[in-house]
Chains A and B, each alone.
Chain A
């Protein structure tokens, strides 16, 4: 059972939240950002090539042009593989753990798995980011020494930065599953 809704990110960019309920104790929440726009790609490429052509006109060295092409290609590959995150998803399986996946535009996926025993809670926090105050969702990890303490805070959806309305949906879905572990004697 999957449903998709549109929201906006903290910087105004449209994003989509897809909720998948696999079973009573398993939910998948995926936030998808916008794809790489053709116009921004063409704008960046034209800017680089205009600059290279200007340099070539001044210096009469044709290496500048080939260097510009090379830089553009390499820069695009690096951007797609290391910087541009297409989709961030959260898979919550009650009694097993939480898996956070980021998929990059080149297809690379990086995942982190947190065991349910280490998860204390999932909360919405406020933070000062650049010149704004934004809301973000994070997982609080239990401190092994201090049962009431928090040892680590893992922020989620860092690159898509959804706004509060989207975060509330995600928060409610997560809490439904996390509450089950209080009722069930684990």
Chain B
């Protein structure tokens, strides 16, 4: 059977010693975790390994010997290494040796109690200990309740290295009877900046949490929850977006460490998305506030609103006449048309009233882009919604009237068929009517049917402008929700 030996790349330049690791007999593989150097006392080594085994629950033991001789191969050394096999009896005893500057290693095994003494093949796999220790091989979902050994063979290797972190605490340069070489022997990695950031992040997080709790307390106060205000907050997309961002900040600045990899990734994700958002927002801010662009924007806003109002008025005049040759009910036509015209007139007057203040409002509102590009886009969407509010009102009026019409017609239609809506049972039942009930109702039904086309024209024609508004809204929607990416 093929023997697999996993050797850490950091130990390839280590001095001679014995190999410490774990033997997985089901897979016939040996995972070498460290090299223990001479001189050592076997009893102390066994004691140390017993302690490590107790703490990490990984069955570490002495697996073999490693010799890295700078001079030629010494016979006495090789005999000594073989004798070690008798002290630390392990089956099979692995001997790896590297001579001088030779690129090739020799790897052999000593089998004392082997049944078939054939020459077995050895595969030596070089692995980067630090990366394997830090990686997490995801097990398949359905075998999550089984132990890691059952899942897959390689995950057992990864698991072994990850769980033996205690072994990597002591080093060859430490005082003590045990001198090990592993990935930390190359030099414990640390970065001053990272350490300083770690120290500084704790008070920063606490401050941020305190401020955020104050802010959310204010937001949740009763003052802001009265009916008109709460309706307004729910309709404005800016408030929604700010609420999301507040929640994200709370997640990031929480004092608890992330429990597992998923939570850590989610936190990092939110942090990076916040950074990108704010960076893009500041970029937008720096572009917007140059060359008096806000002024130009404010100057073009009023003429555009006027232009839209004029177009709408023309449309209504056309509807009040004979649109596309359709002959409409004159009285109804005039009522609806005049009502909508007055609406537009009111709206334009309000916009003109606001016109001296538009530039200042835009200037201050534009400053909020520093909170993030998504907030700026939300504000843009809200501004457009507010400016085209009159179109939306038309749509609502027209649709409501149309709805009422349709309900009336459908109940009269049911009357013609002899059925009635049963309110108690919420279903349609048959019913027999008297003659004097039927006559005025059927007369009303015919009149309603003839007035239907007039009603259906009104909401439909403002659909064109409604579509324009909705299209812009749809463009902004994915930008708005770009900010709250979830896993």
A145 touches B121 (CB 8 A): no
Interface size of A by CB at 8 A reads 18
Contact B152 A95 (CB under 8 A): no
Given A24-B121, A144-B143, A145-B142, A96-B4 contact (CB < 8 Å): yes
Q: Does B265 contact A (CB under 8 A)?
A: no
- The residue on B at minimum CB distance from A181 is B2
Report chain B residues within 8 Å CB of A94: 2
Closest CB-CB distance, B230 to chain A, in whole Å?
Answer: 51
A94 to chain B: closest residue by CB: B2
CA A153 – CA B123 in complex, angstroms? Answer: 28
Question: CB within 8 Å of B: which of A96-117?
Answer: 96-97, 115-117
User: Which residues of the partner chain B approach A117 to less than 8 Å between Cβ atoms?
Assistant: 152-153
Contact between A115 and B121 (Cβ–Cβ < 8 Å)?
Answer: no
Asked if A45 is at the interface (CB within 8 A of a chain B CB), the reply is no
B142–A144 contact, CB under 8 A?
yes
The answer to whether A23 and B121 touch across the interface, beta carbons within 8 angstroms, is yes
Q: Is the CB of A25 within 8 A of B121?
A: yes
- Asked if residues B152 and A118 are in contact (CB atoms below 8 Å), the reply is yes
Cα A40 to Cα B339 in complex, Å, equals 72
The answer on a CB contact under 8 Å between A115 and B142 is no
Q: Contacts of A95 on B, CB cut-off 8 Å?
A: 2, 4, 28, 123
Query: Which residues of B lie under 8 Å from residue A96 when comparing CB positions?
Result: 4, 123, 125
Checking B27, B121, B140, B154 against A144 with a beta-carbon cut-off of 8 angstroms, the contacting residue is: B140
Confirm or deny: A156 has a beta carbon within 8 angstroms of a beta carbon on chain B: no
B residues less than 8 Å from A115 (CB atoms): 152-154
A185 touches B1 (CB 8 A): yes
B485 to chain A, nearest CB (A): 26
**Total interface residues in chain B, CB < 8 Å:** 14
Question: In the complex the two chains form, what is the Cα distance from A103 to B27 in whole Å?
Answer: 32
Smallest distance from the beta carbon of A24 to chain B beta carbons, Å? 6
Q: How far does the Cβ of B27 sit from chain A's closest Cβ, in whole Å?
A: 8
Bound complex: CA A85 to CA B123 (Å): 30
Specify which chain B residues have a CB less than 8 angstroms from the CB of A93 in the assembled complex: 123
Contact B1 A184 (CB under 8 A): yes
Q: Which residue of A lies closest to B142 (CB)?
A: A144
Per-residue CB contact flags for chain A residues 1-39 toward chain B (1 = under 8 Å, else 0) read 000000000000000000000011110000000000000
Complex: how many Å from CA A185 to CA B27? 10
Cross-chain contact A26 with B123 (CB below 8 angstroms): yes
**With a CB–CB cut-off of 8 A, which chain A residues contact B27?**
186
**Hey, which chain B residues are within 8 Å of A118, CB to CB?**
152
Q: Which residues of chain A have C-beta atoms less than 8 A from B140's C-beta?
A: 144
A96 to B5, CA, bound (A): 11
Residue of B nearest to A184 (CB): B1
B2 A184 Cβ-Cβ under 8 A: yes
Q: Which residues on A sit within 8 Å (CB–CB) of B1? A: 184-186
Interface residues in B138-171 (C-beta closer than 8 Å to A): 140, 142-143, 152-154
Which residues of chain B from 1 to 43 have a CB within 8 Å of any chain A CB?
Answer: 1-2, 4, 27-28
Least CB distance, A184 to chain B, in whole angstroms: 6
Contacting residues of chain A (61-84) with chain B, CB-CB under 8 angstroms: none
Interchain CA distance A145-B27 in the complex, whole Å:
22
Question: How does the 8 Å CB contact mask read for A158-186 relative to B, with 1 for contact and 0 for none?
Answer: 00000000000000000000000000111
Give the one of B1, B2, B4, B154 with max A CB within 10 A. Answer: B2
Contacts of B154 in A (CB 8 A): 97, 115
| Least Cβ–Cβ distance between A113 and chain B, in angstroms | 9
In this complex, what residue of A is CB-closest to B141? A144
- Give the CA-CA distance A115 to B139 in the complex, in Å: 13
Q: Which residues of chain A have C-beta atoms less than 8 A from B153's C-beta? A: 115-117
Contacts of B125 in A (CB 8 A): 96
Chain A residues with CB under 8 Å of B121's CB are 23-25
Question: A186 to chain B: which residues have CB within 8 Å?
Answer: 1, 27
Pick 11 A–B contacts, CB within 8 A, sort by A.
A23-B121, A24-B121, A95-B28, A96-B123, A96-B125, A97-B154, A115-B153, A115-B154, A144-B142, A184-B1, A186-B1
Q: Given A24-B121, A25-B2, A115-B153, list of 10 further CB < 8 A pairs? A: A23-B121, A25-B123, A94-B2, A95-B2, A96-B125, A118-B152, A144-B140, A144-B142, A184-B1, A184-B2
